[in-house]
A and B are shown apart, each in its own frame.
Chain A
Amino acid sequence: MPTTFLNVSLSVNGTGYTVSIDSRATLLEVLRGELGLTGTKPGCEHGECGACTVLVNGRRVLSCLALAATQEGAEVTTIEGLAPLGALHPVQQAFIDHDAMQCGFCTPGQVLSAVACLAEGHASSREEIREWMSGNLCRCSAYPQIVDAVFAAGRAIVEGA
């Protein structure tokens, strides 16, 4: 099974990279393995849990289903780049305030998904948040706290703006 490598240039958290990758590698594998950004988590590697959610060109996607080779020119935001070093995004702060995590493994994906959920305008009610956050599973089942956090973050962002 000969391995084919190719170069891909993409921006991650505002920094440009050109990486030589296996043609079969996913964005998840490149972020974790090549760039050392291990905040993006592999939960199922089949697009069924949402733990690997990242933002690509501002939209939430699953990095485990994104073939890295197709990401030429992409602008990727991972959990590490959501807020300036040492600072927290309002969604991150809301997750802390509402105890919206337990084991923490799904948390980066939940946070990024929540950031996009708010940006999309899908957070006007708890019910809407539940539906539009359903791509992110949490086996510890911190769901009620996550929904509270997203709802509160939405208000905080509106009030802060």
Chain B
Amino acid sequence: MSVIGTPLVRRDARLKVTGAAPYVGDLVVPGVLHGVFVTSTIARGRIAAIDSTAALRIPGIVQVFTHENMPRFGKIKGVPGQAFLLMQANEIQYEGQYVAFVVAETLMGARDAARLVEISYVTEHPRVDFRRHLELEETVTDFAEPDTSVGDVRAGLAAADITISSTFRTADRHHVPMEPAGTLAEWRNGDLLLHDATQWGYGVRMVISSALGLPQERVRVTSTYVGGGFGSKGFAWPHQLIIAAAAMTLERSVRGILPRALTFTGHGYQPATEQEVTLGAHRDGTLLAIRHRSVNPTSIGDEYPEYAAMGTRSVYACPAIETATRVVRVNRNVPTPMRAPHEGPGMVALEIAMDELAVVAGVDPVELRLRNYAETDPTSGLPFSSKALRECYRIGAEKFGWAARTPAPRSMRDGSTLIGWGMATALMTTFRFGSAARVTIRRDGRVVIETGTQEIGTGVLTIMPQIAADALGVPVDQVDLIYGDTDLPEAGGTFGSATTLSVGSAVLDAATRLKARLIELGGEPELSPAEYTEVLKLRGLEQLTIDGGWSPQQGNEYSMQCFGAVFAEVRVDERIPIPRVSRCVGCYSVGRIINPRTARSQLTGGIIWGIGQALLEDSRVDPVTGRYLSKNLSGYLIPSHADVPAVEAYWAEEHDPHASALGARGVGEVGAVGVGPAIANAVFHATGVRVREVPIRVEMLL
């Protein structure tokens, strides 16, 4: 039996349950200095004066960096989280912007000194609420086209028996990984070694080396364990650059860990969206036209479009589809991708609209989606690389018990508790990144994989050895993985649900080549794994190393998407109508599963993110000052244990022959899609109240 598909225990589980897994804040470096950021208290204006005199009197203070004494950064290469560089000039574009970096021998000393940095500002009135400035909307192009159009939407709507046209809102949300981002920058004889809480070490290296004018080979980025990212640690952000610059300037090691409050402004967030969806359909629910338009806030200095209509381009068979994406610049930090970007907020709108259509057409919500099932991508016209969504609807509905649903709102109850069942489709674009890997077999039979990927909780430490072991035919416990270091063969970032398919395909390639080379060296057409070490001995080799790689060149003639069918049950007390999820079932079409144990955790984790999106997460912004109201975990609510009921994730058996060499697509994000609208639709079914906004709060149901 293949080790691929086996639910092996997470290799780092023991280290994690014993507290022995080292994160950036845990590393011990002699003589390390501690850095603390001072942030702007205004959202727009400029620094009139900054005075470090009092701060510099604190015992153990080393330096107070401000825009006046910070090295000037060079032209940035690569993909920074924000192009607007901090502490280079006196301009303030958002509240929370770094205005000083205080370095001291102790953390307490740095904190004390940071309070004593005196700053006066010239304050201008900030633009805060993008919804009040929709007239300023702009088109941008990031990595995708902002607008798409196929067919004649106007004609489709004119011919429609049923038209649904609604406005939807999603809230500003923050990643808040349990480990706040942080960097330990070691200065070693002119070389910079960064231990970083990052999802993309190579990305950090590119940005830092270019900004500091250092050749790439003099900057090395490592990450051992990363305490969650969800996108927040995907790019190089200002703190990494400033900490590195401080280490270089002082020629000392400097560590800076963001306090929780700075995880709200120190890196991006998922922006709120204002979306309009118009559906035109035949009486039986068959779609004739879809128009989906989305606007989100971005920062003054950077463009981040949330392509909320992305999923709408591919999800349903429909002859006419128009999508549009716009941004409005406000005095806030720049948004960034967050677990299930684009489709995550976007499918909330489309799938609530589909539920409205199901109600008007009098069609069961699952049946409505089957009637509009897309056999090919309706916008690009391309075939799907692989799609088992029909199977997902079937399995999901069966596991949930959907057939017992009575369609009328308020028709299911348990005493004074209203019960609602809702469902939605999930869809998430498949991202793919070029990656390299090296595989070595040693004379003692041990196999070592080297690839510079990151461990953020996804399970790569377990999955990559499974892939190599399978390719080589050796026991998986004979395979080690070395990772998390830019000195290793370059792997893509740990985001976009792309690691298994991208890095995994590179590992597969290297392992396959290694086996071929061993066979070649053995001189026989066949070679059993037990004979590998014999070949090495025969050839006088201590070890044999082969480099491999994978790049997403093939398969571009396909539309690649991850799919899912999500079913949710909510319970709402009639008198005190606070919605609570009591059950959630998702079934997914994600390609081949390498490790069912870690894959299931990724998918259920995603579903719980969807519960947070649906009912809790809302990073409110003060409408006057532009500061996040609650830069903490008591005001910004993420689900707790008590919010999470029985959650079940299933998948259709599938092997995608086009998306990657492995047959896999991705599991990291699709789980977080479709849950929000499934819950919103369940709330409608329970209460009869149609809420077109998440999170859904008690005030919307009173």
Contacts and interface: CB of A to CB of B under 8 A. Distances in A.
Interface of A: 1, 3, 22, 24-25, 29, 32-33, 36-46, 48-49, 51, 78-80, 82-83, 88, 92, 95-97, 99, 101-108, 111, 129-131, 133-147
Nearest to A101: B16
A156 B622 CA distance: 50
Given A44-B260, A131-B641, A141-B605, 20 more contacts: A22-B108, A24-B108, A38-B19, A38-B26, A41-B23, A42-B257, A43-B260, A48-B632, A48-B634, A49-B633, A51-B178, A80-B19, A88-B18, A103-B177, A103-B456, A104-B227, A105-B23, A137-B640, A139-B638, A145-B601
B95 to A, nearest CB: 19
25 contacts: A3-B112, A29-B107, A38-B22, A38-B25, A38-B26, A39-B18, A44-B632, A44-B633, A48-B634, A80-B18, A96-B14, A101-B10, A102-B601, A103-B225, A105-B177, A105-B178, A129-B641, A130-B641, A131-B642, A137-B178, A137-B633, A138-B178, A140-B457, A145-B604, A146-B641
A105 B179 CA distance: 6
Nearest to A96: B13
Contacts of A92: 17-18
B441 to A, nearest CB: 29
Contacts of A48: 260, 632-634
B271 interface: no
B644 A143 contact: yes
Contacts, number: 178
B497 to A, nearest CB: 14
Closest 9 CB pairs of A and B: A39-B19, A105-B227, A103-B457, A104-B16, A102-B457, A79-B19, A141-B608, A38-B26, A48-B633
Interface of B: 9-10, 12-23, 25-26, 28, 58-59, 107-109, 112, 115-116, 175-180, 225-228, 230, 257, 259-260, 456-459, 597-598, 600-602, 604-609, 632-634, 638-642, 644, 646-647
Contacts of A102: 228, 457-459, 601-602, 605
A38 B109 CA distance: 20
Nearest to A133: B641
Contacts of A42: 25, 180, 257
A98 B228 CA distance: 19
A68 B116 CA distance: 25
Contacts of B17: 79, 88, 92, 95-96, 101, 107-108, 111
B641 A45 contact: no
Contacts of B640: 134-135, 137
B108 to A, nearest CB: 5
B182 to A, nearest CB: 10
A107 B179 CA distance: 11
B178 A106 contact: yes
B260 A139 contact: no
Contact of B228 (A3, A29, A140, A145): A140
A134 B646 contact: no
B96 to A, nearest CB: 17
Contacts of A141: 604-609, 639, 644
A125 to B, nearest CB: 13
Nearest to A79: B19
A143 B108 contact: no
B650 to A, nearest CB: 14
A145 B14 CA distance: 16
B562 to A, nearest CB: 18
Nearest to B605: A141
Nearest to B28: A36
Contacts of A138: 178
B604 A144 contact: yes
A45 B179 CA distance: 11
Nearest to B595: A99
Contact of B641 (A82, A111, A147): A147
A82 B18 CA distance: 8
B228 A139 contact: yes
B582 to A, nearest CB: 11
A123 B459 CA distance: 28
Contacts of A40: 19
Contacts of B108: 3, 22, 24-25, 29
B601 A142 contact: yes
A131 to B, nearest CB: 5
A147 B608 CA distance: 14
Contacts of A129: 641
A136 B227 contact: no
Given A41-B179, A139-B177, A99 B641 contact: no
A142 B609 CA distance: 11
Contacts of B178: 41, 43, 49, 51, 103, 105-106, 137-140
Contacts of A80: 18-20
B457 A104 contact: yes
A143 B14 contact: no
A82 B112 CA distance: 35
B641 A136 contact: yes
Contact of A1 (B22, B58, B632, B642): B58
B25 to A, nearest CB: 7
Contacts of B15: 104
A46 B226 contact: no
A49 B634 CA distance: 8
